[in-house]
Amino acid sequence: MAHRRILLSLAHPDDESFGSGGLIARYVAEGAEVYLICATNGDVGTVSAERLNGYASIAELRLAELDCASARLGFKYVFKLGYRDSGMINSETSKDPACLWQAPREEVTNRVVEVIRQVKPHVVITFNKYGGYGHPDHIAIQRATVDAFKLAADPAYETGQEPYQPQKLYFTSVSRTLLRLNLLRIRLRGEDPRRLGKNKDVDMLAVLENAEPIHTRIKVSEYFRVWEEANACHASQLGGGMPPLPTWVRKLIAANQDLTRVYPPPLSDKRDESDLFAGVNLD
């Protein structure tokens, strides 16, 4: 069991908890080694002034929150690439040469290849092609991870490490049913689903339009408490949107986590797995 290895390649402090906390908690509890790439420092996240007390910067606060969540979830190791948060597309922050969106794709890919060759994961997980909700950092790390998944096994791609080929690649996903229920909730509140968030730059209809098929559903209901505790570590990123759902509703929604299997390619766009390691040859 301890030889099973998973690598999540994500963009911001909080992506690991808000998006995949239940899945991470389950596999860590079952003895798998779970690693994380966090590509940015979360510098552009919206943080209230009182949350910054004791911290020199937003990045310092958000990385501290990541450390808290990582300890609760039980990562084997967290690789922090240190890029500046890009903010949403076409924002001034997305033009910063230090941000992930402006980093050369080949550079980011090389760094992910190095991690893959070091960790030797059986399974790699990243965002879908739309980056979940269209965030440029999500898209940038997704593209680099897909490239790295292929290049890590190529002996001609030199990083000073031995080539290695992970066996499975997944994209994070949310069921279309849950997305439609969320859209209904948004509309009932009289909000425009095309213009959400503090800066009105999140398009929930586009999230639904770019949703990909679900092939894998992982039961995580037993790990709801750990997941909630990890989410609570990211206190600076909670609130400011719609009121939270009641606990019993959150438990119901969080009973499973869904993924799109990219490699090996599915035979059909139907759900056919309940375990990330189905069909994996362990070391």
Alpha-carbon gap, residue 140 to 147, rounded angstroms: 11
| pLDDT tens digits along 46-56 | 888 888 998 99
Average pLDDT, the chain: 92
Alpha-carbon gap, residue 29 to 44, rounded angstroms: 33
| pLDDT tens digits along 130-173 | 999 999 999 999 999 999 999 999 999 998 899 999 999 999 99
The pLDDT of 204-226, averaged and rounded, is: 94
Contact (Cβ atoms closer than 8 angstroms) between residue 219 and residue 255: yes
Residues spanned by the domain of 223:
5-262
Q: Does residue 278 fall inside a structural domain?
A: no
In which band, very low, low, confident or very high, does the pLDDT at 233 lie, cut at 50, 70 and 90? very high
Q: Does residue 276 fall inside a structural domain?
A: no
pLDDT at 206: 92
Q: Does residue 181 fall inside a structural domain?
A: yes
Give the rounded percent of residues in the chain with a pLDDT score beyond 70.
Answer: 96
Q: 123's torsion region: left (phi>0), alpha (psi -120 to 50) or beta?
A: beta
CATH code, 100 = 3.40.50.10320
Q: Does residue 269 fall inside a structural domain?
A: no
| pLDDT tens digits along 254-268 | 889 999 999 999 988
Q: 282's torsion region: left (phi>0), alpha (psi -120 to 50) or beta?
A: beta
Q: Does residue 164 fall inside a structural domain?
A: yes
3-state secondary structure of 247: helix
Q: Does residue 275 fall inside a structural domain?
A: no
pLDDT at 46: 82
Examine the pLDDT at 1 and tell me if it is beyond 50: no
Examine the pLDDT at 209 and tell me if it is beyond 80: yes
Q: Does residue 17 fall inside a structural domain?
A: yes
Q: Does residue 274 fall inside a structural domain?
A: no
Range with the lowest mean pLDDT among 94-98, 163-167, 238-242? 238-242
Q: What is the dihedral of CA 194, 217, 26, 83, to 10 degrees?
A: -40
Q: How many domains does the chain have?
A: 1
